[in-house]
Amino acid sequence: MPRDRRGITAFLDAIVFMGVLLLALTLLPSQLYAPDEGGPSASELLDAIAASKVRMSDLSEDGDDSPVFLTDMVAYSVHTGDGLALEYLEKVLEAHCRGHPYQVRLSYGDDAASIGEGSVKARSGASAEYSVSAGGRLGISVSIGERSCFDYVLPALLDPVLDSGPDDLRAGPVAVHVVDELED
């Protein structure tokens, strides 16, 4: 009985192809959706805030162009309720934390303020007090959390779905609603 060697070759070729495909599919998610290893550091953030100088006129309505420490302007903002320095600090936090959830508690005398999310499971945290040139001390406590896998996997999965649907689906609240359901 003659054997057809083309059938055996095709079978072995299919087995090798499926093995390579299985290996590629196993490695693909770990490479595409791997969380970053280092992440932001709370102590580095505090050092950067303490060393930063800004123009007084940029963060105060009645200031001049003299350079002042950011901690002085944040203390002024916490004490008076003027939100310009806190808004600036929030932009600095967003840039430093790169999507990681964070919470910052500020205290100056009897006044207090907070920036960021209400509860963060901290992966990095630090606290410090800084002298303010007007007198007193500004206390800063920083907690930086770990990003959820939904922060970077779910948007990548939803983009093709939302882009292919009608215009009302692309608005964005649908994606936010789905993320909220999955995190609970």
pLDDT digits (tens, 9 = 90+) for 52-106: 898 888 877 777 888 999 999 999 889 988 888 889 889 988 888 877 888 999 9
Structural domain boundaries, residue 158:
148-184
Do 112 and 56 form a contact (C-beta atoms < 8 A)?
no
pLDDT tens digits, 128-149: 999 999 889 999 999 888 776 5
Q: Please report whether residue 95 resides in a domain.
A: yes
The number of domains in the chain is 3
Alpha-helical regions (H) of the chain: 5-32, 42-51, 56-59, 70-80, 84-97, 149-152, 154-164, 173-183
**Residues 10 and 65 reside in one and the same domain:** no
Do 77 and 84 form a contact (C-beta atoms < 8 A)?
yes
Q: Please report whether residue 52 resides in a domain.
A: yes
In whole numbers, what is the pLDDT of the chain averaged over residues?
77
**Residues 130 and 155 reside in one and the same domain:** no
